[in-house]
Structures are given as structure tokens and as C-alpha cells.
């Protein structure tokens, strides 16, 4: 039994999408990029666009270059540093002892 709704199951904008409806597509270039893991990526660019030197690999996230024999090095990731690690970079142990002694003296009411 039909419900009488002629557009049931379709969505707004549904219909044939051809060149006649969209117009001519811009000329494209497919450029190959390789990452240090050997993955090849081929993004397409407009023929008059400036092609970047590096492109992020969609598989591993490393930077990829256009030379398959000499891909860019992967980024060097710094390990996570705690607040204490940053403080230790700025202050020596002697400085820390002096600051601690001053804070303890304030707490005891000596200053």
C-alpha cells in the first residue's frame, strides 16, 4: 500500500549531479609525497596552485616530501615535562635550599 508521498526516501538536493549541473571542473594535478615510513600520498591540486614542499601523511602523520629517496625526517617529540622538571632547569639545589629555608623562617615567624 503506497502512502501517497512522492518524495519519500529522498533528501533535499538529491538528484543527478553531472557536469551540466555543476559546470566544468578545474584542471587538477596529482602530486606524490612520501614520508619516512615509505607511505605514498597523492593529493590533487589545482593546476595553477602553488604546491607545498611538505604534506602531512594521512596514515602516520609524519611530514612527507616529493623525493621518495630523501623524505623529511619525522618530528622530534620532546617528552612531557612536569612542573618540577622546569623548576629544576631554572634553579640549582643551593637556590632551592635557600628558598626553602626562607619559606620555613616565614612560617616560624622568624622573619
| DSSP H stretches of helix in the chain | 19-22, 83-90, 93-108
Q: Does 92 carry a binding-site annotation?
A: no
The answer to the question of whether 60 is labelled as a binding residue is yes
Question: Per the annotation, does 83 bind a ligand?
Answer: no
Residue 39 labeled ligand binder: yes
Radius of gyration of the chain measured on its C-alpha atoms: 31
Element housing 13 (H / E)? none
Q: Which residues are documented as binding site for Zn(2+)?
A: 35, 39, 57, 60
Q: Which residues are documented as binding site?
A: 35, 39, 57, 60
Amino acid at each position: 500500500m503506497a502512502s501517497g508521498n512522492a518524495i519519500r526516501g529522498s533528501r533535499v538536493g538529491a538528484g543527478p549531479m553531472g557536469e551540466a549541473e555543476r559546470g566544468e571542473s578545474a584542471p587538477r594535478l596529482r602530486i606524490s609525497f612520501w614520508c619516512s615510513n615509505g607511505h605514498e600520498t597523492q593529493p590533487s591540486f589545482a593546476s595553477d596552485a602553488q604546491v607545498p614542499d611538505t604534506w602531512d601523511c594521512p596514515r602516520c602523520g609524519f611530514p612527507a616530501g616529493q623525493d621518495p629517496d630523501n623524505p623529511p625526517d619525522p618530528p622530534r617529540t620532546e617528552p612531557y615535562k612536569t612542573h618540577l622538571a622546569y623548576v629544576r632547569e631554572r634553579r640549582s639545589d643551593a637556590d632551592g635550599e635557600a628558598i626553602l629555608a626562607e619559606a620555613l623562617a616565614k612560617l616560624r615567624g622568624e622573619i
